[in-house]
Amino acid sequence: MRRIDPRLLLIAGAAFISVSAIFVRLSGVSSGTAALFRCALALPLLLPLAARERRRAGPRRRQGVDVAAGLLLGVDLVLWGASIGEVGAGIATVLVNVQVVVVPLLALAAFGERPSRAFAMAVPVMLGGVALAGGLADSGTHAVHGADPVRGVLYGTGAGLAYGGYLFLTRLAGDGQTHRARPVLLATLGAGAASVVVGAPWQGVDLTPGWAALGWLAALAVTGQVCGWMLIGAALPRLRAEVGGTLLLLQPVLAVIFGAVVLAEYPALLQIAGCLLVVAALWLTTRSAAGPPAAEPGAAAPEPGASSRNHRAAESVRGHEAATGPARR
């Protein structure tokens, strides 16, 4: 993976994640049940991968950050699963991507990593596209596929805030090189715990959902929890915050397409226009990243004499955590 463009890894991860809502919908279980089983069924795959990784690369540092990220992911999964029943699978996945603003803002607050001018110009386009794709500008009943669109929007937005926190912590703690399985394993354990704490008292957790539901949840665990998050975790530390967050906007666009193909949740014309706006904003933000992605932070780094805090942020983005030495700890 070290030789693969991290943008390609992130796009592949987004493609795996984009089918998650469909599997949740097809399973017919509550959001708490889906969140718990997607984590539990992923463990048999992640445990041997993490054990092999530990033997090869040594113990993982910043494990507490991985677990904290997982707790936020668990909250995201429960809220996101609840929004699926209110606004439909495709639109719910669109709404959760308010992370495109959350992640760069957290990077700015924590490390002083300023978003590019292209990103600042593209944010209104992104948010407008998300609003249109979510059916918020269409008063017709054909625009959404759920019981309560307003409540679904609130759930989806809350999920997006938690999701943004998860992505930020993943980018902060990961090196994207030597450790890929263990961060996902620890985050999965944290997400499973959070799904029980949040989902059980709210919507309940069914420990015997049936064989058909288990089949869909197993597919969810493999695609959305293992493949998707390992690819995303390998890519994020090697990209600037705004580039990573923007590329992940392919996820809701693909989700709307898959929702139409698999679940017959056909989008309205304004929703299609919103998806096109998202793609246009993605192009606007990432077109300047045509060179090797690992060099992007260097191009955007401040001039000599900048603070060590900004230098640390640049090092985190490059993903060379293992080579930074004690000063970075």
Q: What is the pTM of this model?
A: 0.69
Nearest to 95 by CA among 192, 163, 168: 163
Q: Is the pLDDT of residue 315 over 60?
A: no
Burial class for 110, CB neighbours closer than 10 Å (0-12, 13-18, 19+): middle
The pLDDT value recorded for residue 152 is 80
Mean pLDDT, range 41-48, rounded to an integer? 94
Q: How would residue 174 be classed by pLDDT, with cut points 50, 70 and 90?
A: low
Summarised one tens digit per residue, pLDDT across range 177-231 is 667 788 889 889 998 898 888 877 877 788 888 999 999 999 999 998 899 888 9
The pLDDT value recorded for residue 35 is 85
The pLDDT value recorded for residue 21 is 77
Q: How far is CA 203 from the centre of its chain?
A: 23
The mean pLDDT value of the chain amounts to 75
In degrees rounded to 5, what are phi and psi of residue 204?
Answer: 85, 155
* CA 293 to each of CA 4, 12, 140, 196: distance values in angstroms, whole numbers, following the listed order: 10, 16, 43, 38
Summarised one tens digit per residue, pLDDT across range 89-112 is 666 766 777 777 788 888 888 888
Q: How would residue 41 be classed by pLDDT, with cut points 50, 70 and 90?
A: very high
Summarised one tens digit per residue, pLDDT across range 288-310 is 543 334 443 333 433 334 444 44
Q: How many helices (H) and strands (E) does the chain have?
A: 17, 0
Burial class for 64, CB neighbours closer than 10 Å (0-12, 13-18, 19+): exposed
Mean pLDDT, range 72-81, rounded to an integer? 86
Q: Which of 1-5, 287-291, 311-315 has the highest mean pLDDT?
A: 1-5
